[in-house]
Homo-oligomer: A and B are copies of this chain.
């Protein structure tokens, strides 16, 4: 969970089960970072246990929001279930009304409670003597198309589920026995257990290795020694899958693997593509550390320009107590970065950034570089401009805040003080993402094929949402 903190830092929770009783889970949740929520005592509370699910969440505010903290646990007629959810339901409002009309009082505003109550509620109930969880999950998928990646724990089973569009990531890792990680591949049949995670970057530090993705629409049953596909639900109209392209651009960790490729590699390819689309005569290429570094190295290599560091990150960035005057605001960015002026004095600098959302970070950086001696400053952005809101789980500023929707966008270089500024094209991004997936499919048409057609959600860039939005 520590390796997933970039996905959510405002609350954290773990629910464990001893795998025997359907009545007792051990739960610990709290607001704040994992290290704040969990300590030796709270972890002790979670033992003994054989399985468990955890969650780190990005929420909006305050202590009273603890009730929204995941995983959710409810008692049903067939025992307790615990649910961890990543995503956002596109038809949440209709579903809320439906449940309340049935007489269910809803305690939170969270979509995750909806999912939990839908699983509890699924009819037929009166004669439901056995709890057919797969039927309940499939019913859930019929009720709501996207977006959700789910872990559902009941007794000694964890169900891993990805929505039919595959909008949110989910992958499986294998815990390897101690002392047996030297070069032995996936043929090694011995495993110590299974882990499921939004991102594969979390496997290494717990001694697990990447096994495979959960496919769009797939319901996977995970028991102690077994991983078993129970069903793969297709999108209603055989639409292409719609994995969030923003995960590649910004959200995921560079060492995570999606669709068979490392995020870092995609980002470097974006940099290379950007060099093709928007070359510039300059003396050196650099980055705004650290997220844009792969693209910057790709750009530099493609252009044949040297890669040079111009900023160094300050490890300890603190609060600002005093209302800053104009000068201090101007130099606000100087709290976050040190300037390595000797590296670029008198030079023409290309800065690669991963995205420009509001435009108020890059502007003072350019000013800083100029004041420290840069002769020219050209900005190249390794992703297309963001123009539309996301309703499937990513927090994007309002349309009005997005620089790409503001009048300043038409003279952006001038507005941010750059000599030039160019974004990557949507086509360039999509091809940087899909190129190696397609190549792999061509070479090995049977390997882990997504049931639907290859596709990516580019809604925040293009406004093309994969499903109709309901209000």
Contact = CB atoms under 8 A, between A and B. Distances in A.
Interface residues of A, number: 100
A406 interface: no
Contacts of A343: 264-265
A104 B107 contact: no
Contacts of A104: 103-104, 117, 120-121
Q: Is the interface of A mostly helix, strand, loop or mixed?
A: mixed
Contacts of A331: 204-207
A129 to B, nearest CB: 11
Interface in A306-360: 306-309, 312-319, 321-322, 325-328, 331, 334-335, 338-343
A126 B101 contact: yes
Interface string A175-204: 000110111000000000000000001001
Interface in A346-383: 368, 371
A102 interface: yes
22 contacts: A2-B314, A2-B317, A6-B315, A34-B316, A35-B318, A66-B67, A75-B107, A81-B105, A101-B125, A102-B103, A103-B120, A103-B123, A104-B104, A104-B117, A179-B327, A204-B338, A204-B339, A207-B328, A253-B338, A264-B342, A264-B343, A297-B309
Nearest to A4: B316
Contact of A338 (B34, B181, B201, B306): B201
Contacts of A30: 63-64
Contacts of A28: 63-64
Interface in A89-120: 96-97, 100-107, 116-117, 119-120
B64 A77 contact: no
Interface in A259-290: 261-262, 264-265, 290
Interface of A: 2-3, 5-6, 9, 27-30, 33-35, 38-40, 42-43, 45, 62-64, 66-67, 72-77, 81, 96-97, 100-107, 116-117, 119-123, 125-126, 178-179, 181-183, 201, 204-207, 253-255, 261-262, 264-265, 290, 293-294, 297, 301, 306-309, 312-319, 321-322, 325-328, 331, 334-335, 338-343, 368, 371
A26 to B, nearest CB: 9
Contacts of A307: 297, 307
A335 B205 contact: yes
A327 B209 CA distance: 13
Contacts of A2: 314, 316-318, 335
